Structure 1
C-alpha cells in the first residue's frame, strides 16, 4: 500500500479557512472555473501559516502504523509556491515530526499532472481537497476528498461516486484504519 497526500488544504491550512467556521469554505472570487490558479494559499508570512488541525499527528501515524516508507506528498503549484512550500515544510520540521522522507515530495504544474505521478509511484490511496484532481487519478483505487469546498464539489459532482468524502484527519484515519484491520479495499 502506498498513499499520496496533497499539501494545500490537506496539510497546510488554506488562508481563507483560518477563521472560517464553515468546513466547506466560501465561494471563491477570482478566475473563472477551469482557470489554472495557485492552489496553496499561504499567508504573506507563509511560514506562519498553520497546518490543518491533526495533520502532522495523522501523517506520523500513517508512516508508523500503516504505510511505512510509502507516504508521498504530491502538490500542484507554480514555482514560487513550490519554493514557499519547501520552506514551510522545513520550518515546521515536517519530515522529522512525521517520518515522511524528504525525497518523497513531488510537484507538478497542473491538476492533471498528479495522475502520472500517482501511476508512476503505484499509489493505492490519495488524499486531496479537490474533487477535480481526484477525478484524474483513475489508477488509484482509494481516493479521499478532504474538506472540499461546496462550489468545487458541485462543479465536479459526477465524480463523487469514485471517492470517499471526509471532513477531518481523525475521520480519515478511522476510515483507513478500519479498512486495514478488516482487509477490505475501501474504494
Structure 2
C-alpha cells in the first residue's frame, strides 16, 4: 500500500482548512473603511468622500459604539483597518480618522491602519496579520480572502445591494453594525477559561 504524503489529498477529498502561520492565533478582526466605517458618497472610489469636504462625510451609523465594544472584547485590541486607496484617498482617510478621533474613540491602535493599492492586496495583509474575521462591502474583495475563516458582507454603508441569490455561502450578510457586532461575537467560541 502506497503511503500518502503529508498535505497530499486523495482524489475527491476536500481541501483542509487553512493552516498557515498563525492559524491558531486568537480572533483578529479586519475592517474595510469605505462603505463600512465611512458612508459612501458615490461608487467612483472604494472609499469616496463628500467632494471638497471629505471630513464632513458621515460615519456609518453605530460604527464607533460597535468597534469600541469589539476592540475591548472579544478581539481585545486585535482590530485592523485594511483599506484599498490611492494616495489622495489614503490622505483623506487618514484625515477623516484623525478628525473624528477614530483611534481614541474606539481603542484601535493608530498603527493598525493598512492601506493597499489593489483590492486583491488585502489578502496577503490579512494572512500576515492572522486575521480570522473580515468585514467589507464588496464581495470581490472578500473572495480574495481565502485564509480568513469568517467573511462578512456589510451593506449598511451603501445603497448597493447584491442580486438575490448572488451571495456565496462563505459570506455572511449584515445590514447594521448592531447586527454585525452580534454576528461577530456569536462566531467566537468561548473556551473553558472564559476568554476568547
TM-score by length of 2: 0.77
Matched, 1:2 2:10: no
Matched, 1:88 2:96: yes
CA distance in 2, matches of 1:119, 1:178: 22
How many pairs does the alignment contain?
A: 161
**Contact 1:3–1:71 at 8 Å: present in 2 too?**
yes
Say which of 43, 55, 58 aligns to 2:50: 43
Structure number with greater Rg is 2
Cross-structure match for 1:33: none
Unaligned runs of 5+ in 1: 17-27, 29-36
CA distance in 2, matches of 1:142, 1:40: 23
Cross-structure match for 1:103: 111
Structure 1 pair 66/182, CA: closer, same or farther in 2 (3 Å)? closer
CA distance in 1, matches of 2:189, 2:116: 33
CA distance in 1, matches of 2:151, 2:174: 10
Cross-structure match for 1:175: 183
Give the secondary-structure state (helix, strand or coil) at the position aligned to 2:168. helix
Give the CA RMSD over aligned residues. Answer: 1.9
CA distance in 1, matches of 2:183, 2:189: 10
Give the secondary-structure state (helix, strand or coil) at the position aligned to 2:134. strand
- Aligned 1:16-95 pairs, distance under 5 A: 16=42, 38-44=45-51, 45-95=53-103
Q: Which is richer in helix?
A: 1
CA distance in 2, matches of 1:94, 1:71: 13
Deviation string for 1:18-59 (max 9, x for gaps)?
xxxxxxxxxx6xxxxxxxx62111002000111000001111
CA positional deviation for 1:175? 1.1
TM-score by length of 1: 0.81
Give the secondary-structure state (helix, strand or coil) at the position aligned to 1:172. helix
Deviation string for 1:95-125 (max 9, x for gaps)?
0000000000000111101001001111000
CA positional deviation for 1:160? 1.4
Give the secondary-structure state (helix, strand or coil) at the position aligned to 1:66. coil
CA positional deviation for 1:68? 1.2
CA positional deviation for 1:15? 1.3
